[in-house]
Amino acid sequence: VLVNGTLKSTGTWTSGIPTNIIVNSSVNGTFEYTLVASDGAGASVQDSVILTVTASGMDPGIIATIVIVSIAAGIVALLGIAFMLKRRGKTKPRKKE
């Protein structure tokens, strides 16, 4: 098995028996996987597959920004509530006449 022309693995194969290649790539890009099979008489055959890996879901940068903004908003809200409670405690109740 070659990936983008670089040999990645070798092994034996029996005709009629399916073979699997595990593709574990978290890197975005386009990859060409080529399988080459040869026999004892020197004959060979090959086939290639193009695999394109693209990101799915949200970008980690966006997620981090959302988390930071949410934390900041929470802190501002808590400070606002604390300020209001402190201010409310300073007001003196009015005397009834």
Residue 24 and residue 11 share a domain: yes
Residue 96 has pLDDT above 70, yes or no: no
Following DSSP, what letter does each residue of the chain receive, concatenated? -EETTEE-------TTS---------S-EEEEEEEEEE-TTS-EEEEEEEEEE---S--HHHHHHHHHHHHHHHHHHHHHHHHHHHHHHHSPPPPP-
Residue 42 and residue 80 in one domain: no
Q: Left if phi > 0, otherwise alpha if psi is -120 to 50, otherwise beta: which for 29? A: left
Residue 94 has pLDDT above 80, yes or no: no
In terms of domains, do 49 and 61 share one? no
pLDDT tens-place string over residues 59-85: 777 778 888 888 888 888 888 888 888
Domain that holds residue 32: 2-53
Residues 62 and 42 in one domain: no
pTM: 0.53
Residue 34 shares a structural domain with residue 68: no
Q: Is residue 74 part of a domain?
A: yes
Mean pLDDT of all residues in 46-56: 85
